[in-house]
Structure 1
Amino acid sequence: MLVQKELQKINMYKAPRDKLACILNCCKVINNLLLNASIVSNENPPGADEFLPVLIYITIKANPPQLHSNLLYIQRYRRQSRLVSEAQYFFTNILSAESFIWNIDAESLSMDERDFQKKMDLAREHLLGLTASSENQDNQTNFDLREQKTQANRNSDVNLSSKDNLQGLVLDMRKGSDVIDKPVERVPSISDLEKKGAAELLKEDDLNKKIQEYPFFLPVLVI
């Protein structure tokens, strides 16, 4: 409702004049609605007896943030010469509404004490249920976000591991291919050396290598 939104904006402003303007706009809307209703029903114009209960109801429904602090702020810092006439009347009514809500009890509502306590308990349970539901929803949302992040990290690790394994496999295949393509060097046997002859072997540059590879063939070379 427009009348509730006007009152809820009181905490958005810093200047006491702007805060007071929110209260005046709310009260003017209520006063105009009551006046139009009286004209339609052909009744007398509304007075304080009709205006204050509606203002109390609107204040409860709007539940403006830090209402008490904002009202004290206006009282202390709004120039008193400006709190006159219509502004003073509506501001006094909002102070009365705030005081009534603050000190509300069964007697002020002309209710039985047990019925009043029962309804108050139900209202508290309803508010606590709404708060718990909101907290559970926030916790579930945070849990889902954490799960999605964890799953994304797991998928990333799996992809990296698969990529590393694939790269390792390719490297192994390349190494294996290099080994297969490289020709195997044939090592000469004792028979080959005997056929070649000692004289020719003595002429070769790698004689020392031959002696190291075939130590037991040394006597044959010496003879």
Structure 2
Amino acid sequence: MISFIKILFIEPLLIYKGCVESTGSECSNNGWTNGNQVTQCQGINYMGSYTGGHRIQKRFWCPSDKKMKLSFTLAKFDSWDEESVFIYQDGQLIDKITHAPFDGSNLCQLWFPDVLDYRSYNFQLSKGQNYVTFSLVDNLQTESEESWGIRDIKLQVVSPCIDFYSECNYQGDLWKVCQGNQTISARYIPFKIKSIYMLVSGVEVQFKDPHFKGGIKQTYTTDQTCLDDYHFPKYQNLL
């Protein structure tokens, strides 16, 4: 009987998602400060519309020392006159979205053109740091002439890894498996596995070995703090 560990990254490892549903109350119950207004464009909900120096802000928990990505779609509604929405990370300006009055095409709101602008930002928190704050603020004038909205907000791990430990409670030697679905033969597993740290949902770890759980394949979708000893017949350190 073949011994293996199989890791399946079933979906993006999302830390947060907000205003991703087309309709309903999800866009108003999003956890953003000053972000509970809702407007529609082509029958789809957006947080907004905002104008007149409006600021929205949210503090996110993130795993430290991992590559992260924040992404969203920002909608320019109506007649922006080279005005902007400014994006800040922990108080530092990281981007500025600027449009002219006739950028885009007429999608909704008034008779001026609109733009749906997808943006994404990669970052990595220092080891031991677990929180980041993102803010968006505009320098527009009045809602009757120009405004903006935002939707499809996602915070995700860019290069997800599964951490395997030689001791319970994520202690002892560490072995990482990263970036994509993998099936790993027993001969490449460096030590017995006692705990598994997955971070978020969307991952499956499968074990199969004749000497573990009667040879029946085991599937784990959450963190495992202390497994029965999982001894493969041969260990081969990858280093």
How does the TM-score come out when normalised to structure 1? 0.19
Query: Which structure would you say has the larger RCO, counting Cα contacts within 8 Å and 6 or more residues apart?
Result: 2
Larger radius of gyration: 1
* Structure with greater proportional helix content: 1
How does the TM-score come out when normalised to structure 2? 0.18
* Structure with greater proportional strand content: 2
